Amino acid sequence: MDANLILQSHYSSLKNKMLHSVYLPSFSLSSTALFPPSATSVGFQSSKRGLDSLQHQIIKTRRCTNVSLIAYNHGTQEFVLEEEALSMLETNKSFKILPGQAFPLGASEIQNRINFAIFSQHASSVTLCLLLPPSSWKDYDTGNKEMLELRLDPSLNKTGDTWHICIEDLPRSGVLYGYRIDGPQDWPQGHRFDSSIVLLDPYAKFVEGRRHFGDPTNKLSKFLGTYDFEGLSFDWEDDVHPSIPENDLVIYEMNVRAYTVDESSEVDADIRGSYLGIIEKIPHLLELGINAVELLPVFEFDEMELQRRSNPRDHMINTWGYSTINFFAPMSRYASCGGGPINAALEFKEMVKALHNAGIEVILDVVYNHTNEADDRYPYTTSFRGIDNKVYYMVDGDGKLMNYSGCGNTLNCNHPVVMELILDSLRHWVNEYHVDGFRFDLASVLCRGTDGLPLDAPPLVKAIAKDAVLSKCKIIAEPWDCGGLYLVGQFPNWDRWAEWNGKYRDDVRRFIKGDCGLKGSFATRISGSADLYRVNKRKPYHSINFIIAHDGFTLYDLVSYNFKHNESNGEGGNDGCNDNYSWNCGFEGETTDADLIALRSRQMKNFHLALMISQGTPMMLMGDEYGHTRFGNNNSYGHDTALNNFQWSKLAAKKEGHFRFFSEVVKFRRAHDIFRRENFLEKDVTWHEDNWSNSESKFLAFTLHDNKGEDIYLAFNAHEYFVQVAIPSPPQTKRWFRVADTNLKSPDDFVAEGVPGVTSSYNVAPFSSILLKAK
C-alpha cells in the first residue's frame, strides 16, 4: 500500500487529537558531508530501508500536540514533517528532519537548520521534546500544552555516545526543548534513568523557567532549554578586560540579588535585585575603593528547591545559589521585570561592561562540585541524573552516590566527558560574557578521581591552568571539600591557582581576639603565608586573604557572638560551623552598652586594617563596610530577607564613621606598593620583637621598608591593657606621621595624609592597632 495512503488514513482518524510523537526513519548519512545530497529543498530523502521498515510509524498520541501530518512521497522518497501552527491563522509549516551531527553539543544553528546534540553513554532511547512558539513555557508548566516529541533512531541519530538530530526551518528563537531519556533500570550499577521526566540539556545556553525570583505561586516550576539565533549581537563597544595584576586586586564578595533588592537601595522597583541593579550602585563600589567583585553563583539555579516537598526547611528560599541546574545559562530571575533568560543574558553583559568601564573586574563563584539534583532519598532530577547518572556523578561499587560535597551528590569532574563540559562552560563565560576569573567552590572535589580518591595531578585542574583561554583568567580554589580533603597551601596549582587561605582567616581571627600563642602565626599570615605558598614560582598573591566570607559570621557578628544562632534555618541549630573563633566582647548579641559598642567597633577596624596591610590578595564581604548583622546566623543561605540583603539605610547612618574608615584603608592599600609585593618579604621587613616564644605575648610591631624611604610602621595590641611601645627611628630626613589609630573616633582614626607629632614612643590602647608612615 502506498505510504501516503497509510499515513493519510492515520491522519484522518487522529485529525482532531493531533499526533504527539514520531519515530524518525533511518536516513543514510554520508561520512564525508555534513548533510547528505539527499537533503532536498522540499524534504529529506529517506533510505529505502527506512521506508520498507516503516519506521516512520506513529508511536503514541497525547492531547494538545503539534504534529499534524507525516508525509512520504513514495516516488521521490522525501520526508517532510508538517507542524500545525498554534496561532489563529492555522497556517502550516514544513520541517525537514535530518540526522544532524554530534558536534557541537547543545542546540546550534547550521545554515538554516537547528542541530541538537546530547551525550549519553548508557541511554537506550533518547527523545527530543519541543515546544514551539507562540506557545510559552507557562503553557507547558501549567499543563496546557504538551511537547512535540521526536524519538531518535540510534542507527541514524547516534555517533559514538552522542545522540543528535537536525531540523530545518525550525524557529530561530522562542523554541523550548528538553529530552526524555531511557536506559537500564539498574540502580546497583549507578543508573537512574526515568523517561517520564523531560530533562534539561546540560549544554543549553539559556534556561526558561519561573520568571520571578521566589514566586510562591510557582514553586514547582519546570526548567527547559531554549536558544536565540536571531537576536542582534551584543554591542560590547570597546570593552576590554581590566587585566588588573593579581597583587593589586581588592576583592568584594557579593550577591547579585541581595545587593539592591531591599527598598532602601532606592533603585527602581523593576530592577531591584537584578544585574542592572548592580550597575546603579557601581558608585558605591568605587567609593569603597575595591577593584574586583566576586559574585555568588549566577548560573541558573532553583531558589525554590527547598519548598518542593514538606520538610523542616520548606520556609526557606535559596538566595546564595550553590545548587546549579545548568553551567552555561545566567540566572534568569536576575533579569529585570521578570524578563526571562534572553534578557538576563543581555543584562548580565551590560553589567559586566559597566563594571569594566569602572575599572572593576568580574570574578564568578562557580559550583562544579555538585548540582541541584540532591541524593537518592530525595532526588530532584532535572538533567544530569536522568541523562547518565553513572557518568556525571561519582558512584561507589554498589551504585550509590558518593557525597564529598555535603549536598547529596558529587560531580564526576575528572571523567573526560564531565571535564570537557566544565572546560566548555568556563570558556563560554569568558568568551560570551567577558568575565575575568572564577572562584571554585569546594575545589578539592576537582582533585578527586572517578573513584573519589585524591589525585596528585588532577587532569581538570591542570587543564584549567593550561587552557589557552582560561590561562588569562584569575583562577581561585576553595581548597577543601566536605570529605576532609583539606589542601590549603597544597592545592595542585601549576603556579597558576590562587587559594582561599583558610589558615589566614583562622589565625588572624584568633590573634585579634586575644588568643594566646598566636603572635608568630599572625606574623606569618600578614606577611604572605610563605610557609604555605613559597613553593616553586608561587607568589604571596596566590593567598586570597580573608577574615569574613559569605558563609560564616559577618564581621559585626564575629565581634558580637560567641555562638551561632541558626534556629531560623529549620535544622535545630545543627547546621553551620561551630568553630568560628569569634568573641562577643563580653555580651552575646545586641547591646546598648556604649563601652562594649566602642570595643566592637575597634575590633572590626583592627580586623580590616590587618586584612588590608597583609601581603597577598585581600577579599572582604558585602555589607561589612557598614557592619551588617545576621544576628548570629552563620549559615544564612535560605533567607531572602534583611538577614542577607544589603541595608542601604544603615550604610547611610555609618557613612561618616565606620564606612569612612573602611574605605580609606582600602584606598591606602591600593596607593602603596609596599602592601602588594610581588615576592615574599625578606630584608624589606623588620620585626620589632625579641620574645617570639612567649605564648602570653599578644603584641606585635614591625616596619615595612620602602625603597623611597616611605616606611610603614604597624603595631597590633590584642592585650586588655595599654602597651607603651618604643617607636624606631624613621629613615633619614623623614618623620613619622600617624595615619591610623583604631582607638580614636572618626575622623581621627584614619587620616590618609598623616598627622605629625609622633614621638619616640606610643601608648597603644587595648585591642587596638596603629599605622605610622615615614614622610
Longest dimension (CA), the chain: 109
Separation between Cα atoms, residue 225 and residue 577, nearest integer Å: 37
One-letter amino acid of 606: N
- Grid coordinates representing 280 are 546603579
Compute, in degrees rounded to 10, the torsion defined by CA atoms 710, 716, 722, 724: -40
Nearest of 192, 172, 169 to residue 95 by alpha carbon: 169
Q: DSSP character for 395?
A: B
Separation between Cα atoms, residue 598 and residue 587, nearest integer Å: 13
Q: Cα–Cα distances in Å, from 161 out to 43, 103, 232, 699?
A: 27, 12, 34, 64
Separation between Cα atoms, residue 500 and residue 529, nearest integer Å: 12
Task: Please pick, among 253, 441, 515, 664, the residue that the annotation labels catalytic.
Answer: 441
Task: Please pick, among 149, 153, 294, 478, the residue that the annotation labels catalytic.
Answer: 478
Residue 208 exposure: Cα atoms within 13 Å on the Cβ side: 21
Let me know if 432 is a catalytic residue. Answer: no
Other CB atoms within 10 Å distance of the CB of residue 287: 15
Other CB atoms within 10 Å distance of the CB of residue 630: 24
CB 333 within 8 A of CB 402: no
- Mode of pairing for the β-strands spanning 106-110 and 113-119: antiparallel
Separation between Cα atoms, residue 424 and residue 469, nearest integer Å: 10
Let me know if 441 is a catalytic residue. Answer: yes
- One-character DSSP codes across 28-76: ---TTSSS-TTB-SS-EEPPHHHHHTTTT-EEE--SS--EEEEEEETTT
Residues annotated catalytic, as ranges = 441, 478
